[in-house]
Structure 1
């Protein structure tokens, strides 16, 4: 923003990083488009210049509750990572389970800094409670470790039921075969993408370059195209930043200025969204 005077930013990748960048976008009137910051705590209310091109995690809650209700599970333990990404979804889940009469006897919030010994200790604690149904809401990197340890603790055998949210079922981070084997039998929810010729073409090109499928890759691809189309429709060729006067030279934010074309580009992006 300061040196290149960018007109839009794609990112950040994680919800925990988003608040700071959203604040910068709001101050400079630069649109921030994120295809992977899915925390429901991040909303346009915080900034008109933040646009989520992925689905909010809250959109999956009803589907998860329907699965729990269909299987007739009356109790479920929540296991989530202690980050904004993990914590923000909990109130939505609790409300959804309350609505179907399912109790949450225990919430396990595992700090992202936890080592394997600490995670295993928490799993043993849960195992002693003799609960058998669990919902895991974690990023793939931390969830991968959890399931390997849960298998070692004997909690992936018959008699246990595990559900995971989209952060794990869409596998944002790559996982190896050993992790996949440990997750055998786990139920997960994923956003539905309607089939189309364009989608099949994208999947073919993606596999050729990355040898895998990734929903976040699709959202990233669409995000880049959306910005390119919005810039073209808005007729933006070059614009400058209007510098702000500030008596507080210790604060570098004032040096960023305000994007001259930011409001125009934002309107163009939102128009594309309404047309989609």
Structure 2
């Protein structure tokens, strides 16, 4: 390891010597700007991480040898207006790159400025997916875009087979951009956002209460919360008062809550009680010795500076961002480029104005430095740092946490490489990608209400009307439908089947049984079904026959009772004897049958006795032949004995 560092140092010194031979002198200092909110959950972790990264860069002789990296920080104060002013003041100080901003809203504004001044903007916290390279060519995101986070949320929703969600989001660029992508991601999985609950920035408690109350009136019980970390915890305190944190509710929270939990350390028991059972996403950063050493170093520095908050994942991305910029500047200088600025003729001081626009200068080597940034290929605290064609990190991944007790536990991971998995992304990267449904896995979840049973995710809306079900009140066939005392005291086989079908639905449906008829006579069934067609009833339950005229005005279920032709006879014991064959026919029937046989015999004798010797003889013989012929026809044909007939 020491020989490798010595080799890198020799190469850097050779490059510096070669540059000196060409007459190019490396600058003593290079200024880099940083934009973020000092007193914020992300800002407190990022500020110290950036300062430690600058110290590490300046202490490393293999990077920027002979040149000191000078950090100029500006506080955006959680304000879009003040943040824009601070950014313009930063640009006056001839910085070659800016790390930040923390806010997506400020990122939209400042990206227009850096496009004109050719200063690369490397943000470690602006996750709005609408901050695209096509619109802002000098904007580069060194953290994971919310485009991937929303696809991770959609994968979780699809894994648990929910089809409708309510999106609770802050009504700014950051919130709207994320929810827009979430809608598209859910649509690809045949789900949707059924209600959008937008919370204006800097809302008071009453306004948040109204937004959550309206959201609770909707059918969906799956809530996706995408807000800012500094005000997000108030949402759960208010939701708890509205009894929205109990059994049956599902809360999926984006990475802002993980940043809050990681920064706050052991949580306040009262605050933690509000968020039990939540599913939380957090940017995945692989475990490594370098990461552990940095966390220990950060904690020591925080204790020395009396910083009460802890480290979070955004701090790791801020640290890596400094190294990305430092390495790009080093490659830029090694290529023989110089750091120079030139005035923009379009920017000049207006008469009577205190704005000194002429101090905003164009970085002449901005495009070359941007190209060096895009060629970054290093391993940092967050893992592989490399950008794809869309200028996003090549391996976006998230940890999926389940909040419980005084902390949270890991239930799985998501990556755009293999989707949901209980294995770490680093293991999956060594295998072929597999995003099939059968390969998606998560550990068990403890949901709100301290239950492991998966919530249905849908309930009948609080402001909805019950299902109006018509039931015939009749005196006949009470085993099928029977109406007792009270409006809902309805029983019977048909009613039992209806109630069993209602219970199979993945959501509760309240029903109101409406009896039709006075019970003394059967009501008109056609009239009951016509009430469904006129919207007087929503459904009808009973022994309704499916006939043609009724199917024209209403939909029927599949028949659940077979009503074919049957013979009903009393059951009694039968005595068997030799004369049992007489029982199928009555005496009158047997007499009629015998008469017909004799009649047939007489007719045959009349036709045959003149020409057929078998039918001649004494009168006694001819009479016996008639009777024998009549009854023997029951057992065989007499074609050989008859001549005229055949």
TM-score relative to the length of structure 1: 0.90
Q: Give unpaired runs (5+ residues) of structure 2.
A: 1-89, 303-308, 379-384, 387-646
**Deviation string, structure 1 residues 83-113 (Cα, Å, up to 9, x no partner):** 1000011221112212222232211111113
**Deviation string, structure 1 residues 128-155 (Cα, Å, up to 9, x no partner):** 2353111111111232111111111111
1:244 to partner: Cα distance: 2.1
1:173 to partner: Cα distance: 9.4
The residue number in structure 1 matching 2:294 is 202
1:187 to partner: Cα distance: 0.2
Contact kept, 8 Å, 2:262 with 2:310, in 1: the verdict is no
Equivalent residues in 2 for 1:1-276, closer than 5 Å:
3-171=92-260, 174=263, 177=268, 178-210=270-302, 212-235=310-333, 239-246=339-346, 249-250=349-350, 253=357, 255-273=359-377, 276=386
Q: Distance in 2 between matches of 1:71 and 1:109?
A: 25
1:206 to partner: Cα distance: 2.5
After superposition, the Cα gap between the structure-2 partners of 1:253 and 1:95, relative to the gap in structure 1 and judged at 3 Å, is: same
1:119 to partner: Cα distance: 0.7
1:219 to partner: Cα distance: 0.3
Q: Distance in 1 between matches of 2:177 and 2:98?
A: 24
After superposition, the Cα gap between the structure-2 partners of 1:253 and 1:41, relative to the gap in structure 1 and judged at 3 Å, is: farther
Deviates more, 1:51-60 or 1:100-109: 100-109
Q: Distance in 1 between matches of 2:92 and 2:248?
A: 58
Deviates more, 1:66-75 or 1:249-258: 249-258
Q: Distance in 1 between matches of 2:174 and 2:203?
A: 16
Q: Distance in 2 between matches of 1:181 and 1:209?
A: 31
Q: Distance in 2 between matches of 1:246 and 1:268?
A: 28
Contact kept, 8 Å, 2:245 with 2:274, in 1: the verdict is yes
After superposition, the Cα gap between the structure-2 partners of 1:49 and 1:253, relative to the gap in structure 1 and judged at 3 Å, is: farther
1:263 to partner: Cα distance: 2.1
Deviates more, 1:40-49 or 1:244-253: 244-253
Q: Distance in 2 between matches of 1:41 and 1:2?
A: 24
Q: Distance in 1 between matches of 2:117 and 2:216?
A: 50
Q: Give unpaired runs (5+ residues) of structure 1.
A: none
Contact kept, 8 Å, 2:92 with 2:361, in 1: the verdict is no
Q: Is the strand fraction higher in 1 or 2?
A: 2
Figure out how many residues of one structure are paired with residues of the other and give that number: 276
1:174 to partner: Cα distance: 5.0
1:261 to partner: Cα distance: 2.4
Q: Distance in 2 between matches of 1:173 and 1:86?
A: 22
Contact kept, 8 Å, 1:141 with 1:173, in 2: the verdict is no
Compare relative contact order (CA 8 Å, sep 6+) and give the higher one, 1 or 2. Answer: 1
